[in-house]
Amino acid sequence: MIMSKHEALKKLEEEMENDSSLPLRESNLVFGEGSPDCEAMFIGEGPGFYEDKMKRPFVGRAGQLLDKLIMSIGWKRENVYITNVLKRRPPGNRDPLPGEIEAYAPYLTRQIEIIDPPVIVPLGRFAMNYFLPEAKISRDQGKLFKLGERYIYPLFHPAAALRGTGTLNSLTESFMKLPEVLKKLETMAEVVAVETRKDAQKSLF
């Protein structure tokens, strides 16, 4: 039986809900939302206080900035897909632990496979390093990487942009280039090919 993307995502979410081996089970599952036929899949670090409460990604202050950026390029939030590396909130919003990232990774991999987005947009250092372990956010945000068959376009985390004007300006500038990035995806000379980095590939697929 061929499942639709919606059905496959629903099934994956149910599987996660029932997986008692996953860490952070005292928090709610924030699986992700949006269109599985999106042009871009945004991936943050993990749910915060409001995300945990509402079981939706990016609904707090950082989410409001993300919404504004999405609208500023003429897109709609419901037409992109938004999720996180960690699908449950770490206590007190602490940084994700390596073991937690590892535990959630197979699910994120399957989520990406189902959605098969033209470009993945990791938001912030943690999400970026999940895909590109060697990358540095201040150096590499706004650059397009090719990892296997996937395109990765890392951006500053909106929460970081709320803390500093320089970061906000860089995030805004790089975000504005997203439609152009999508248009030129196949031909862009700036693409940094990292498909030979076996370690990075292994953690992803």
Q: Which residues sit at the interface with ligand URA, rule CB under 6 A?
A: 44-48, 51, 57-58, 60, 62-63, 84, 159
- Do the strands 40-44 and 81-84 form a parallel or antiparallel pair, or are they unpaired? parallel
Residue closest to ligand URA when measured from CB atoms: 44
Q: Looking at beta carbons only, is 172 or 201 nearer to ligand URA?
A: 172
CB 43 within 8 A of CB 105: no
Question: At its nearest, how many Å lie between ligand URA and the CB of residue 158?
Answer: 8
Q: Looking at beta carbons only, is 51 or 100 nearer to ligand URA?
A: 51
- Classified as helix, coil or strand, 9 is helix
Question: At its nearest, how many Å lie between ligand URA and the CB of residue 62?
Answer: 5
CB 104 within 8 A of CB 87: yes
Q: How far is CA 141 from CA 24, 37, 185, in A?
A: 29, 24, 16
Question: At its nearest, how many Å lie between ligand URA and the CB of residue 186?
Answer: 30
Q: Looking at beta carbons only, is 57 or 154 nearer to ligand URA?
A: 57
Q: Looking at beta carbons only, is 151 or 156 nearer to ligand URA?
A: 156
DSSP string, 58-80: S-SHHHHHHHHHHHHTT--GGGS
CB 143 within 8 A of CB 191: no
Burial of 199 (0-12, 13-18, 19+ CB in 10 A): exposed
CA 138 – CA 121 distance, rounded (Å): 15
Question: At its nearest, how many Å lie between ligand URA and the CB of residue 198?
Answer: 28
b/e 147-176 (16+ beta carbons within 10 angstroms → b): beebbbbbbbbbbbbeeeeebbebbbebbe
Question: At its nearest, how many Å lie between ligand URA and the CB of residue 90?
Answer: 11
Question: At its nearest, how many Å lie between ligand URA and the CB of residue 123?
Answer: 6
Q: Looking at beta carbons only, is 52 or 140 nearer to ligand URA?
A: 52
Q: Looking at beta carbons only, is 47 or 154 nearer to ligand URA?
A: 47
